[in-house]
């Protein structure tokens, strides 16, 4: 894994005097990912990239990796794993079959052939 020490990326800092967040634009890092890496990722995503896009996305993806590197430095030893924070559990209901009063009328207005009380459609596979 490449080292991200000494690289720079866009950041946000709190200005305590003004009490708001200000964006600080720092020049993006030199591309940590090689053009070959970016092209491989694009191939996996089934994307065709121009040479200009390879350079642009290489820098952007490297910035994303920079943020992940910063996250890996956070001490999470005393933090419980969390999958969600709302406390809601299984907000679902049982499926209930209900008869439709106008089912026959709906089938009659179909432009397609009706077979066994269903609209017949062409095979997709």
DSSP states along 9-61: --EEEEETTTTEEEEE--PPPP-SS-HHHHHHHHHHTT----HHHHHHHHHHH
Per-residue pLDDT tens over the stretch 75-87: 888 888 887 788 8
Other CB atoms within 10 Å distance of the CB of residue 11: 13
- Checking if the pLDDT of 13 tops 70, the result is no
Per-residue pLDDT tens over the stretch 44-71: 999 999 999 999 999 899 888 888 888 8
Nearest of 24, 33, 32 to residue 6 by alpha carbon = 32
Domain assignments of the chain as residue spans, ordered by start? 11-72
What pLDDT is recorded for position 57? Answer: 92
82-103 burial: b if 16+ Cβ within 10 Å, else e = eeeeeeeeeeeeeeeeeeeeee
What pLDDT is recorded for position 123? Answer: 87
Q: What is the CATH number of domain 11-72?
A: 1.10.20.60
What pLDDT is recorded for position 23? Answer: 42
Q: What average pLDDT does the chain have?
A: 76
The structure's pTM equals 0.41
Strand partners, 24: 11
What pLDDT is recorded for position 5? Answer: 40
């Amino acid at each position: 894994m490449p080292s991200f020490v000494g690289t720079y990326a866009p950041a946000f800092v709190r200005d305590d005097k003004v009490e708001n967040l200000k964006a600080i634009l720092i020049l993006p890092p030199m591309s940590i990912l090689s053009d070959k890496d970016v092209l491989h990722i694009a191939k996996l995503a089934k994307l065709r990239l121009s040479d200009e896009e390879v350079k642009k996305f290489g820098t952007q993806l490297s910035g994303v990796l920079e943020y992940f590197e910063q996250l890996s430095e956070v001490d999470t030893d005393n933090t419980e794993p969390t999958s969600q924070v709302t406390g809601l559990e299984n907000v679902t209901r049982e499926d209930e079959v209900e008869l439709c009063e106008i089912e026959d009328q709906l089938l009659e207005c179909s432009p397609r052939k009706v077979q066994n009380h269903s609209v017949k459609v062409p095979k997709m596979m």
